[in-house]
Amino acid sequence: MKLRKVSAASAAVLALALTATACGGDDKDSGSSGGGDKKITIGIKFDQPGLGQKTPDGYAGFDVDVATYVAKKLGYTEDQIEWKESKSADRETMLQRGDVDFIAATYSITPKREEKVDFAGPYLLAHQDVLIRADEDKIKSPEDLNNAKLCSVTGSTSAQNVKDKLAPKANLQKYPTYSACLNGLQTGAIDALTTDDSILAGYASQSQFKGKFKLGGFKMTNENYGIGVKKGSDLKGKINDALEAMVSDGAWEKAVKDNFGPADYKNEPAPKIGDVKS
């Protein structure tokens, strides 16, 4: 009888211990803000040097730096970020389907896009510009692009916009990629390449092109880069708070210099949240 009493008591103690252990495990999981399988999925470009690029060492660029900073402010460490390629034509669909939590991918804020998604920001004011050879002295304004060989990347409307509005005699040359345009610019096969100045600065900042090209500084359009989120998402306000913190603590300016500095990019000051330039 005595042995049976001890066994019953032991069983009761063991049951209590197991219950306490289970409760302790639940408390740890629910109270850990950065543990477990917590992840955030962020859309970026994978093929834009200086902005969003997949490299053998990971991911690099201004958009990557901005997105990483924002994610940290939202409570995620770098190893909890899952990067997903967001091509221009896929961005709205990716957000609507919930494939990503937010997108930072040279994503200009426009009324048409705002019908489908929400934007935090803007976090960078870019402009359509041209990239020319460093020793070029004849192209000093958009009008000087008349009769010049202007690179048009397949699928882009930038060069056609220049021809339609500023230089009707520009000779458009179609190339498959920006890299191909740069090679043509280097060899003299083309005279200028046009797209957003931030994108041009990113390409020109690559080590193999350092000192070979310069930006025209024409500021032909305003491109307000925002961070896209799903329509109605409460992330918009939280991301705006993070962007304001990034500017105030100097991290934004550092990211600009780190990614665009070699191209002598004359960036605009950090835009105010909600101030979208037309």
pLDDT 10s digits, 114-161: 999 999 999 999 999 999 999 999 999 999 999 999 998 887 889 999
Q: For residue 213, with 0-12 CB atoms within 10 Å meaning exposed, 13-18 middle and 19 or more buried, which class applies? A: buried
| Nearest CA among 51, 80, 81, 55 for reference residue 64 | 51
Dihedrals φ, ψ of 16, to 5°? -65, -40
Mean pLDDT of the chain: 88
How much is the pTM?
A: 0.81
Confidence of residue 5 (pLDDT cuts 50, 70, 90): very low
Place of tokens 């797209």: 195
pLDDT 10s digits, 60-105: 999 999 999 999 999 999 999 999 999 999 999 999 999 999 999 9
pLDDT 10s digits, 226-275: 999 999 999 999 999 999 999 999 999 999 999 998 888 889 999 999 99
Domains of the chain as residue ranges with CATH: 40-126+223-263 (3.40.190.10), 128-215 (3.40.190.10)
pLDDT 10s digits, 186-221: 999 999 999 999 999 999 999 888 889 999 999 999
The fraction of the chain above a pLDDT of 70, given in percent, is: 87
108 vs 8, which has greater pLDDT? 108
Cβ neighbours of residue 47 under 8 Å, at least 6 residues apart?
A: 53, 54
Sequential DSSP letters for 88-123: GGGHHHHHHHTS-SEE-SS-B--HHHHTTEEEEEEE
Beta bridge partners of 108: 225
